[in-house]
Structures are given as structure tokens and as C-alpha cells.
A and B are shown apart, each in its own frame.
Chain A
Amino acid sequence: MKTITIDPITRLEGHGKITIFLNEHGDVENAYLQIPELRGFEKFAEGRRAEDMPQITSRICGVCPVAHHFAATKALDAAFHVDPPVPAKKLRELLYCGYVIYDHILHFYFLGGPDFVVGPEAPAAKRNILGVIEKAGVDVAKEVIKHRAYGQKITAILGGKATHPVSGLPGGVSKGLSKDEVKEIKDMIVSCNSFAKFTLNLFNDIVLKNKAYVDLIRSDPYTLKTYNMGLVDKHNKMNFYDGVIRVTDQEGNELEKFDAKDYTNHIAERVEEWSYMKYPYLKSIGWHGLTDGKNSGIYRVGPLGRLNATDGMATPEAEKEYTRMYDTLGGKPVNSTLAFHWARLIELLYATERAKELIEDADITSTHIRNPVGIPGEGIGVVEAARGTLIHHYHLDKNGLVEKANMIVATTNNAGAITMSIRDAAKGVIHKGQVNDGLLNKVEMAFRAYDPCFGCATHTLPGGLPMTVRIYDHEKKIYRTFSQP
């Protein structure tokens, strides 16, 4: 058996590794994803002051500090038995929209988009933002940088600090908004809304008008029929910040709906001896291995999982685009992994519309932004990180110190689905031992669609994001090695 290892995954510095096993004909037998997870969080959290958790956990991940900040803050609301005032919830959600805006923009233009804008088999050196500039022009790039910065600025104003907010407290937020800040934020949101629509048009022109791309999106190797999960409001519309967790099946019907505090009744984590990763699955369906379909408890989170798990978007422009996506791709649910990119842009549009509603809300300048906390106990908080459902769970002692902590992060929720998507893409593109950079990139595309995040750790010298591909023969001897700068 030959083994191909892609290590680390291009454009991801978190030391992810894909290993592909070939059979004696050189076709793909199986493929696995390895992400070294950060260890020891539970122990690290033990004995800490509860109110430090939103700051500490925002350092866990370089990609989603805001999501961790608010999953922790909401867990503390619950643990201290306090319901924040409505204006505080709106301020948190507005901050959250700022985060989704910059994060989704970055994913499309820096990480996922280059495969389409520059081309899936273009040289690796071109499949990045600089290649996008070459193709789409400097003016587009300037807009990308500008609106990414707007998203960051919105979170900085509301969060009290750039990148790592400090505003979330059990029972509310520490900082309100002045009239001047409202004006400044509103102008940025209006601009972001236009930019979201521009980006959807770009996606339409470059991807949807290209039959080869649409065929690729709809092709079997990039199709996975799993359950879908996401937060919904009381009308079953998508929400990033609040709501209940809804799961829908392969036909789009609701399977279950539950409050985050009951997550352990619904989600279990499978441990396999061959992997460090845990594979969450739905308890009501059970674990039946890395397989999709109705009998497998594996589910997807993140933009496509979320949209599939809802009955629609709560804002008009996003709702229109939502309908168009399902009409174009053959109805709901869409099971095409590469449609994550479209779903992400629909969410970007939603975030700008929702942010506009919030900034125009009279409550947003209220000074009633915190309620007093009660007696500490156990608390669970959930938010939709840009890349999927994120849960924090704390037990506090009577002095408000952490006794026990647990997290399920978005990329873990997607672990089973990502592994299968890589395997299916590899089977679809690698035949008779023929591999090259373009084909391997098509395997990575299945992975990138999920926008996975890794722990934030040290980089290597002399730098670069090398992709090393190792092929082993059936005796596990190295047969070929590819590497690229």
C-alpha cells in the first residue's frame, strides 16, 4: 500500500496533515485528517477565576477570539444565574456581527476564494490573495482590506480592544456606545453591506457562471449527506449569537431541537485509537463509523450546515440570496461541500443587515448594560463561531473559581465530515498513482471549504508553508517525496 502525506496543509499554519493510502492499483483506499489538538484545557482552566475565562479562552484560537469570548461569557451568564439586559445582548450581537464580517471576508478572499478566482489547478504560488489581486485588480483588493478593517474596527469599538475583546462580563457588557460611535459604526456597516453584495456578485460572475465550477461543486466527490446543525431563533431562522440548536436530516426535516444546556444528551464524542481527534456524533442516531447517510450520527456545522439547519434568514437581502442558492443547487438541503463558500457569503450579507438593524435600534445607546450576578454554579454557553457551533461548559465553586471546564469547538464538530470529504475528494481525483500539485489542491479544497481552525502555535523556520507529500509503497517504504516552498 502506498501512502501520500500532505503536511502541513497549504495556507494553514496549524500543522494539519492529510494522509492518503493508495491500494496496489494506485487508487485511493482511504484518507485521514490529523489535526493536533491543543491539550490540557481542562487542567489549565481549573482553579481560575471565572471572569478571566472570556479573556483566556479568546487566546485559544487565532481565528475566532470573539467566538470564544462570547461562548465563555454566555456560559458565565448561565453559571452565575443572570440574564443580561436586552441592550447588553444587542451590543454583544452587534460586536459579533463585526467579527463575522471580517472573518468571512478573510476566508473568501484569502483562503477559499483563490481556488476559484485564480483556479483550482493554478500554481500554488498564485493561489493566494496576491494571485487574486492579479486577477481581480488592485481596486478590489483595496476594498477587501478596507472592509476587513471595518469589521475589526467595529469589534474594537464595542469590545474595548482590537482582536481580543474585553467587554463581555457575566450579566452583560462593560462598555456601551456613545452617539459618535454609533455614527461611526453605522457608516462602516453601510459600506460593508454594499461590499457583501459586491462579493456575492463576484462569486456569481466567477463561479456560478462558470459551468466547470458549478459541475465541480455538484460533483459526487464533493457531496456528503450528513445531518446539519446550527443555532436558530424562535422562527427557525439562523442566528449567530443566540437561540436553540437545531438538527435537520438529509431531506431537510427537523430531527431535533435542543437548548445548549442539554448538549450532553444529544452529542457524544467518539474516540478512535488511530486518531488524536475526537469525532462528535448525534446520540439519537449513534456512531456507525466514518460514513454519511441517515444511519450515521455525523453532522456538519458551519455556514452550509447552519443554512441547511434553518428555515431561512432573518433579513430580507440574505433571505433572497438563500432562496437563490437552494433554487440553483437543486433544493434544500444542499449537500455540496464546496457550497460552503456560497453559504458563507450569504451569511456575510446577513451579518451586515443584522448589524444595521442593531445599530439603528434605540436600545443600542442604553446605559442599562449589566445585571447583578447571582450565586455561582454550572453554566453552558453556545454561539455560532464563523466556522460552526461552539460550546463552553463550566462548573464553578462557591467562590466563583472554575472547578471543571469543557469545550466543543467548531472544527471538532466537523471532524467526521471533514475527514470523509477529504477521503471522497482524494478518491475522486487521484487515480493510478497519478498525483500532482493541482490534484492535491483539489483534495485540500474539500478541507478548506469548512474553514477549519487549528490551535495557534509557533511557526517554523525558515518559514513558508511548505507542502510535503510523501508516498509510501505497500511495504511502507518511501517511494516518492514532493515538496514545494
Chain B
Amino acid sequence: MKTIVLGVGNPILQDDGVGLHVIEALRLQIHDPKVTVETATTGGLNLLDMIRGYEKVILIDAVRQNECKTGEVKRFTLSDFHSVHSCNPHDVSLSEALQLARQLGEKHIPSNIILFGITVKCTYEFGEQLSNSVAAAIPTVVNLVLKELNNT
């Protein structure tokens, strides 16, 4: 199955960039030519451009959930979200972008989209370092993604 593993986040906003760090670790371990490994610092419509044409999409992103500790890893399907990293106020969320694409009769929309979310606290401070608890979650996410790919 033609698959893209896509880490999303902002590299200069501390824990927000965890998805990019996970991709760094994954690049060393994924050698299947059918699997594309990519990063993105952008929102819905641009993400849609990136995943168009793939059958399966595995997103990795920082998420914020009030009741959670930071550094927890959760698996979501797209239906769990109204919103996936639309950091751009002009943009729509990925799920809205997909809905839009379907409404416009676009083909090549991936049907199988899952997301691994790493819980973080909201940050408004510049920085490239991850907090300890979020960095500690990286190996877990890497394993989950590799398992997900093996099951594909």
C-alpha cells in the first residue's frame, strides 16, 4: 500500500515540533520504497496537497488535551478530530480540507488516515528543545509507527 508517514509541527516552538523529531528517528528505520517519510510545518490545505495520491497516511503531531499529562501517546483516527493542526488562521483543518476535496469531487484522496498524537502543553516561547517528558515519548511513537506499517 502506498503510504506516507508525515510528521507535523513547528521546529522552533519547543514541544510543538515533536512530530518532526519522531520523523528524524524514523528515517533511519524505514527502508521500504513504498513508504514516504516527510515533515511539514503547515496546515490543512497544504497537508492535503502532501497526502494526495497515497492510500494510507500516518500523521504524527503534537496535541493538547486538557486532562492529559504531557508525553502521553495516543492513536486517533481522523473521525476523532474536527481539527488537525491548522496552525494557519486562513487555513482549514485537515478534516475540513478532506471534506472540501470530496465535495469538489477530487479523486486520489487517502481513505486510511491515522494520527499518533503526543500530548504537550501549549507553548508561546521560541525554542528547539523538547521537554524531557515529551522527548521520552519518541521511542514509543517510533515503535507504534513501525508496527502500524508492518500491519499494513
Contact = CB atoms under 8 A, between A and B. Distances in A.
Interface residues of A, number: 53
Interface stretch (A105-113, A278-286, A370-378, A429-437): A105-113
Task: Say what secondary structure dominates the interface of chain A.
Answer: loop
Given A456-B10, A457-B13, A63 B65 contact: no
Interface string B74-98: 0000001111111111111101100
Contacts of B33: none
B126 A39 contact: yes
Interface residue SS majority, chain B:
loop
B131 to A, nearest CB: 13
A111 B90 contact: yes
B127 A44 contact: yes
Given A44-B12, A44-B127, A133-B103, A453 B46 contact: no
Interface stretch (A12-20, A287-295, A320-328): A12-20
Contacts of A365: none
A310 B37 CA distance: 47
Given A59-B11, A60-B12, A13 B87 contact: yes
Contact of A141 (B63, B103, B126): B103
B91 to A, nearest CB: 7
B4 interface: no
Nearest to A448: B89
Nearest to A107: B90
A330 interface: no
Nearest to A108: B90
A62 interface: yes
Interface of A: 11-15, 36-41, 43-44, 56, 59-60, 62-63, 103, 106-107, 110-111, 128-130, 133, 138, 141-142, 145, 148-149, 152, 162-164, 451-465, 485
Interface of B: 10-13, 15-16, 41-43, 45-46, 49, 62-66, 80-93, 95-96, 99-100, 103-105, 117, 120, 122-127
29 contacts: A11-B89, A13-B83, A14-B87, A40-B126, A44-B127, A62-B42, A62-B88, A129-B96, A130-B100, A145-B104, A149-B49, A152-B46, A152-B49, A455-B124, A456-B13, A456-B16, A456-B88, A458-B64, A458-B120, A459-B93, A461-B63, A461-B117, A462-B80, A462-B82, A463-B82, A464-B82, A464-B83, A465-B83, A485-B82
